[in-house]
Amino acid sequence: MSGFALLTYGILGLTQTNIPGVEELVSFVNSANGIYLYLAAFISIFLEGLYFIGSFFPGTSFVLLISIVAQTGGYSQFALVMITIFIGWTLAGLANIIGAKYFSRTFSITTENKEALENNAEMTWFPAFRSNTEVAQITEGHSARKVFLSSTKIKLFASIGAAAYAMIIPLFLDIQSLENEDGFLGLAIIAGINFVIGGSKIYQELKKPAI
């Protein structure tokens, strides 16, 4: 469903439908300052980090733009923005875990899982995929504490990597020159990953013997 939503959004944008794209994002970020810059960063990554909702919200592009623009205010502003992003992402993960725990208990669909928790950091560092992993691990019966600590560690390293990425991008790419078409085409990559992961999970589930 997330893949179809992203694909639909991209197609609508490429067919000149009046929906916001990267040009509008750049314009908004350039006009944001002070507390509004931090608030925009926090809300964007929080929504992006929420299970299911994050797949529909282009928060990663927004957060990256904010990180890049924040550098114009000096290293202290840039550092505070990155810390705000990490906090917002961590709180989103906590919300995912609490929600998944409540859902699992309500419908009695999980049992205690004592197997080692797999981080899969190289595959799940992206916010939308990390939220899916958090929920999946809880419904599989893993300890909420272990899931939270594991996820938070991955987010810390991912945030540091994103900070380095945000500092390097302006050296090779003029963000101000980006057009909406560039952003809409980029959505196709994320949609494709969603289709591959979602399709493989459904296939694996269908292959399981009936109980």
| pLDDT reported for residue 202 | 78
* Lowest pLDDT segment from 36-45, 64-73, 87-96: 64-73
43 Ramachandran zone, left/alpha/beta (phi>0; psi -120 to 50): alpha
Domain range annotation of the chain: 2-207
- Is residue 150 within 8 Å of 119, Cβ to Cβ? yes
Is this prediction's pTM over 0.75? no
Secondary structure of residue 166 in the 3-state scheme: helix
Percent of the chain with pLDDT over 90: 18
Cα distances from 180 to residues 77, 127, 148, in angstroms, run 27, 22, 36
Averaged pLDDT, 84-89: 94
Instruction: Give the separation between CA 83 and CA 80, rounded to whole angstroms.
Output: 5
Under the banding of pLDDT at 50, 70 and 90, the label for residue 31 is low
Residue type, 102: Y
Instruction: Give the separation between CA 99 and CA 110, rounded to whole angstroms.
Output: 14
184 Ramachandran zone, left/alpha/beta (phi>0; psi -120 to 50): alpha
Between these two residues, 96 and 40, which has the higher pLDDT value? 96
Q: What is the pLDDT of residues 162-202, one digit of tens each?
A: 899 888 877 766 655 555 565 666 667 777 777 887 788 77
| pLDDT reported for residue 29 | 62
| pLDDT reported for residue 203 | 81
Alpha carbons within 13 angstroms on the beta-carbon side of residue 153 total 10
Strands (DSSP E) contained in the chain are none
52 Ramachandran zone, left/alpha/beta (phi>0; psi -120 to 50): left
Between these two residues, 167 and 19, which has the higher pLDDT value? 167
Between these two residues, 118 and 18, which has the higher pLDDT value? 118
Instruction: Give the separation between CA 99 and CA 155, rounded to whole angstroms.
Output: 19
* pLDDT at 211 exceeding the cut of 60: no
Under the banding of pLDDT at 50, 70 and 90, the label for residue 27 is low
Alpha carbons within 13 angstroms on the beta-carbon side of residue 25 total 29
